[in-house]
Amino acid sequence: MMDQYMLEIRDLHVHFRVYEGISRVLDGVSLDVRKGERVGLAGETGCGKTVTMKTVMGALKIPPAIIPKGEVILDGQNVLKMSAKQLLQMKGTKVSMIFQDPMNALNPVFAVGTQLFDVIRFSKRHTSNGGKLSKKEILNRAIAALDEVRLPDPKRILNSYPLELSGGMRQRVLIAMALVNEPSFLIADEPQTALDVTIGAQILDLLSELVRTKGISVLLITHNLGVIQETTERVNIMYAGQVAETAPTALLFENPKHPYSQGLLASVPRLTGGEIAEGIRGMVPDYTAVPSGCRFHPRCDHVMPICSQKKPSLLLVEPNHLVGCWLYAKEGEAE
């Protein structure tokens, strides 16, 4: 039987060696993306979203990072055990990513065309036993890719340097690069935050339309819940390196169960401005001295004695809806 999962993260722990000691950032993260599914990962700045994404892409520097425990299975293969060559191959063909800051992802020294042609050639080399595309074919593919992201006058764009383009145009170029080799999985980490609100919204609309029509699996990472609501079918709410709650998006927005999710949803209008959730008192903890038990307990209005003693596991509260909070434990489960 074909594997139904594009991505499975199981009990992932990621620590960093820092001056103060060990920073325990990810603490048992589990989440998955099924084939063709669009999944969101949301949570305040600093809660570990980018660390999760980098781990999936094999882009964590080890050291300072340590992965004491966990599995990351991408399309049936364990990423944590891949060689550098296998990783590169996977990133050039099956999986693509889009980052927050389009300038960092483009090389300012080379014309857009040079960079896009390289991406197209790389995939060809790795998918068809060294077969070569003609210059004309590469050019045609590049033009089609730029057309698809609605960049006017693709030929002019190909000859431009990144600094000659606006932020929105650069992000469109990066989306074209991410999609040109027809990946089956896309990870987008805050693709709109470096842009102004209107341009950012256009980029997200374009991205969600493209992945929907192409049937690509997506993990969309953002602190912006409005974006999650419009773009995804399922959402994971992350707090301080743990998944607090996961559910179909509509269900979670209708009926958030975890006190952290409730606080996040209550502060949606403020969140869209890129601010920390003001609806929740306090801050994301210092990962070198994390709170015991439920990491949210110092900020929680419902805290009980067990909360600081024992970490809650994810409990099924209704079909497809899991919550990591002691409020939902049945009699005896807390023992």
Ligand X SMILES: Nc1ncnc2c1ncn2[C@@H]1O[C@H](COP(=O)(O)OP(=O)(O)O)[C@@H](O)[C@H]1O
329 near ligand SF4 (CB under 6 A): no
CB of 41 to ligand SF4, least distance (A): 19
Which of 195, 235, 294, 314 lies at the binding interface for ligand SF4 (CB under 6 A)? 294
User: Would you say 99 or 260 has its CB closer to ligand SF4?
Assistant: 260
Q: What residues line the site for ligand X (CB under 6 A)?
A: 16, 18, 23, 25, 43, 45-51, 64, 287
What angle in degrees, to the nearest 10, is found between the helix axes of 167-179 and 197-214? Answer: 10
**Identity of the residue, 158 or 280, whose beta carbon is nearer to ligand X in the bound complex:** 280
Strand 315-318 with 321-323, pairing? antiparallel
297 lies in the site for ligand SF4, by CB under 6 A: yes
DSSP summary character for residue 285: P
Closest residue to bound Mg ion by CB: 50
Of residues 185 and 239, the one with the C-beta less far from ligand SF4: 239
The stretch near ligand SF4 (CB under 6 A) out of 5-13, 15-23, 84-92, 297-305 is 297-305
CB closer to ligand SF4 out of 175 and 300 = 300
DSSP codes, 17-65: EETTEEEEEEEEEEEEEETT-EEEEE--TTSSHHHHHHHHTT---TTTE
Subset of residues 255 to 274 that bind ligand SF4, contact rule: CB under 6 A: 258-259
Q: Which does 64 bind (CB under 5 to 8 A by kind): ligand SF4, Mg ion, ligand X, none?
A: ligand X
Distance of alpha carbon 221 from alpha carbon 50, whole angstroms: 8
Q: Return the exposure string of 277-298: e unless at least 16 CB atoms fall within 10 Å of the residue's CB, then b.
A: beebeeebbebeebbebbbbbe
Mapped onto helix, strand or coil, the DSSP state of residue 186 is strand
- By CB under 6 A, name the one of 25, 56, 95, 307 that touches ligand SF4: 307
Minimum CB–partner distance for residue 40 and ligand X (Å): 13
Residue 98 Cβ, how far from ligand X at the closest point, in Å? 14
69 neighbors 11 (Cβ within 8 angstroms): yes
Interface with ligand SF4 by CB under 6 A: which range of 35-43, 119-127, 268-276, 303-311?
303-311
Backbone angles phi, psi at 101, to 5 degrees: -110, 105
* Smallest distance from ligand SF4 to CB 228, Å: 20
In this structure, what token pair is assigned to residue 212?
Answer: 């929907």
Instruction: Note whether 148 and 177 are within 8 A (CB).
Output: no
Q: How far is CA 18 from CA 15, 23, 26, 96, in A?
A: 9, 6, 15, 30
Residues in contact with ligand SF4 by the rule CB under 6 A:
258-259, 294, 296-297, 300, 302-304, 307, 312, 325-327
